[in-house]
Amino acid sequence: PRQRPDLAIYKFTKLITEEKEIPFYGDGSTSRDYTYIDDIIDGILKSINYIESNSNLYEIINLGESEVISLNEMLSSLEITLKKSAIKKNLPMQPGDVLKTNADITKAKTLIGYKPATNFQNGIKNFVEWFLRNDIQ
């Protein structure tokens, strides 16, 4: 929970609950690798343990979910969880926007035993519960 207010999940949730238009760029096929904060924290702690037990051995690893979710899927998940429909304002894709981003976590799995535990749907559910509980309007 507590995603930054300038990021899509937070912004879309707020706009849906306020019944305001969501600026929806492109056709919704752009996709991202959304990672739950607890999984990132787990990966960081495992990285620290790895460094402590392998002194002077530093590796670059990616932490993420490795499951890509399209903008359409993300918005649909929010609508289902909030039990409200979004009001979309369709806009052209923004110049320079990337079609797909995702983390290759193969090295993190091998080196530190990283395994994300919270899937996207559960993360959305947790976020929406936090958002509504804190009455962020």
Count of CB atoms within 10 A of residue 111's CB? Answer: 15
- Separation between Cα atoms, residue 129 and residue 114, nearest integer Å: 26
- Separation between Cα atoms, residue 40 and residue 43, nearest integer Å: 5
Among the CATH numbers 3.90.25.10, 2.30.30.40, 3.40.50.720, 3.90.1150.10, which is that of 8-129? 3.90.25.10
Token pair belonging to 29: 């096929």
What are the structural domain ranges in the chain? 8-129
Count of CB atoms within 10 A of residue 113's CB? Answer: 12
Which H/E stretch holds residue 88? strand 87-91
pLDDT at residue number 136: 67
- The pTM (predicted TM-score) of the whole model is 0.89
Splitting the chain (137 residues) into consecutive groups of 10 residues, what average pLDDT does each group show? 89 97 96 95 96 86 94 98 98 94 96 96 96 81
